[in-house]
Amino acid sequence: MVPVIQSVWWLIVLIGGMILIHELGHYWAARLFDVKVDVFSFGFGPRLFGFRRGETDFRFSLILFGGYVKMTGDAPGDENITDPRAFLAKPRWQRLIVVFAGPFMNLVLAVAILTGVFMNHYEKPADTAPVIGYVAPNSPAEKAGIQPGDEIMQLDGTANPTWQDIQVREASSANHPMDVWVRRNGAREKFVVTPEFDKKLGIGSAGWDQESNQVASVVPGMPVAQAGLQRGDIVLRIDGQPVWTTLDLLRVIKDGNGKPVQLTFLHNGQTRTVTLHPRRATLDSGPERWVIGLGLEPRFVVTSLPFPEALRASFQTSRKYATWILDALSGVVERRLSPKSVLSGPIGIAQASREAAQEGVVPFFMLMAMISVNLAIFNLLPIPILDGGSILLYLVEMVMRRDLSLQVKETVFKLGFVFLMAVVVFAIYNDIARIIPG
């Protein structure tokens, strides 16, 4: 029960700021054009408490997952539509800006969060090419001839891709060939890899993974801790065999059945070799096995950026988030991705927010920034009842130079409401299906 309460709490914290800044965007734009705002509500449903400032009732409502700004004359047929301060009495370009201001402020929030994070904690990949650390047996990558240790130099038309670029392309290319250029033993070679569709994840999978041999964690009291390994050290070899991923460590330790192993690693640029004696232990709630107490991760370095560079990096990261979201949506439309792999409802977001909060401040704020961009993109989709649908209607009316009929608008918004509710129900069902076995 405690994890559920924690998930709900962190969900409220996570989306609370995004809802507030989104609705403030609508509110500030409305006030800029002298539109009368009757209600500014955090949440939907019955009013719980609040205060009145000027002509606006600022309130908290019963259902906290959302919010709205109620403006005078903002619906066709409203009795106050003739009021010169009514929303629909304003020029269409002003109405368009008021509607666009909400998603725009979510993008501003994401950039602001990321800038603050990057000024204190900026993780960047080590200055090395993405290296294949693992190739699954009988996978598309193995069938194409890819081997551990290959450095990916180009993927389709993208030169010097990051591993994130590779993952996005792989996920959205189920059953679509990818041209892959790698460096192997100093020579440049080309392979064609066709990711297969992973039914469980709903995305394309090539069956490879990146090199992950930087020390991420050291278990206190275990052999590696006693040998002096620290987070950030690079593991090179175990018993003379190259270490590309954690699987290489596990295989050698398991095959040794408790025999001492020699581990070679880099510490502050110096190569060291130590002899470790594995122990029988249970880690991460798994079965008892031979372990040395070491966790690995992909190579990266942590630094801090001055404000101009942090701001620039935040724009780049926000753009990358938006690109991932748009690629995922296009993948669903083109049937390269399953909607199950893309859509998450409040349950999934609550779980993610709790897990991010447990990892620390930086992961939580990074998740907040990503979801803020996600919220902006989703709201800008040309779906009636969303901000993007309203923007599309205003653009159509501006081209036609006349208003659409009340009947047409009501029909369009009813269809949009039904579609949106179907998406919400599917997302919640998808969340439940993920957490219930079978």
* pLDDT one-digit tens code per residue, 383-427: 877 888 889 888 988 888 887 777 787 787 788 778 777 777 777
Judge whether residue 214 has pLDDT over 60.
yes
On the question of pLDDT at 431 being above 70, the answer is: no
Q: Does position 307 have pLDDT exceeding 90, yes or no? A: yes
Residue 226 — very low, low, confident or very high, per pLDDT cuts 50/70/90? Answer: confident
Confidence band of 181 (pLDDT split at 50, 70, 90): very high
Q: Are 50 and 61 in contact (CB under 8 A)?
A: no
**Higher pLDDT among residues 1 and 315, named by residue:** 315
Mean pLDDT of 314-329: 85
pLDDT at 180 over 90: yes
pLDDT band, very low/low/confident/very high, at 219 (cuts 50, 70, 90): confident
- pLDDT the model gives residue 89: 86
Contact of 80 with 95, CB cutoff 8 Å: no
Rounded Cα gap, residues 114 and 102, in angstroms? 19
Question: What confidence category does residue 434 fall into, taking pLDDT thresholds of 50, 70 and 90?
Answer: low
Residue 329 binned pLDDT confidence (cut-offs 50, 70, 90): confident
pLDDT of residue 336: 67
Residue pair 105/99 in contact (Cβ under 8 Å)? The answer is no
pLDDT of residue 143: 93
- Least confident range of 45-49, 123-127, 281-285, 358-362: 281-285
Residues whose CB falls within 8 Å of the CB of residue 248, separated by 6 or more in sequence, listed in order? 238, 241, 242
Q: What is the pLDDT of residues 39-79, one digit of tens each?
A: 999 888 889 898 999 899 999 888 776 788 989 887 766 66
User: In the numeric block, which tokens belong to residue 44?
Assistant: 């939907």
Does residue 335 register a pLDDT over 60?
yes
Higher per-residue confidence, 103 vs 349: 103
- What domains, with CATH codes, occur in the chain? 2-36+72-119+366-435 (no CATH), 132-209 (2.30.42.10), 214-297 (2.30.42.10)
What's the confidence (pLDDT) of residue 114?
Answer: 94
pTM score of the predicted model: 0.67
Side chain identity at residue 364, one-letter code:
F
Q: What is the mean pLDDT of residues 157-186?
A: 88
Higher pLDDT, 275 or 340: 275
What tens digit of pLDDT does each residue of 87-137 get?
Answer: 888 898 999 999 999 999 999 999 999 999 999 988 876 656 788 888 888
Confidence label for 284 from pLDDT (cuts 50, 70 and 90): low
Predicted confidence at residue 24, as pLDDT, reads 93
Mean pLDDT of 160-181: 87
**DSSP assigned state of 132:** E
Average pLDDT over residues 208-231: 83
Q: What percent of the chain has pLDDT over 90?
A: 25
CB proximity list for 16: less than 8 A, separation 6 or greater: 42, 64
- Closest Cα to residue 421, out of 433, 411, 431, 413? 413
139: how many CB neighbours lie within 10 A of its CB?
Answer: 18
Residue 249 has pLDDT above 80, yes or no: yes
The single residue listed with the structure tokens 């993952």 is: 167
Tell the burial category of 336 from Cβ atoms under 10 Å away from its Cβ (0-12, 13-18, 19+): buried
Q: What's the confidence (pLDDT) of residue 113?
A: 94
* Cβ neighbours for 214, distance < 8 A, ≥ 6 positions apart: 126, 232, 233, 234, 235, 296, 297, 298, 299, 300
Residue 205 vs residue 311, higher pLDDT: 311
DSSP designation for 131 = B
pLDDT tens per residue, range 8-39: 777 777 788 888 899 999 999 999 999 999 99
Looking at residue 256, what is its pLDDT? 86
Residues 136 and 207: their CA atoms lie apart, in Å, by: 5
**Is residue 396 a contact partner of residue 409, using CB atoms and an 8 Å limit?**
no
Query: What average pLDDT does the chain have?
Result: 83
- Residue with token string 């039914």: 199
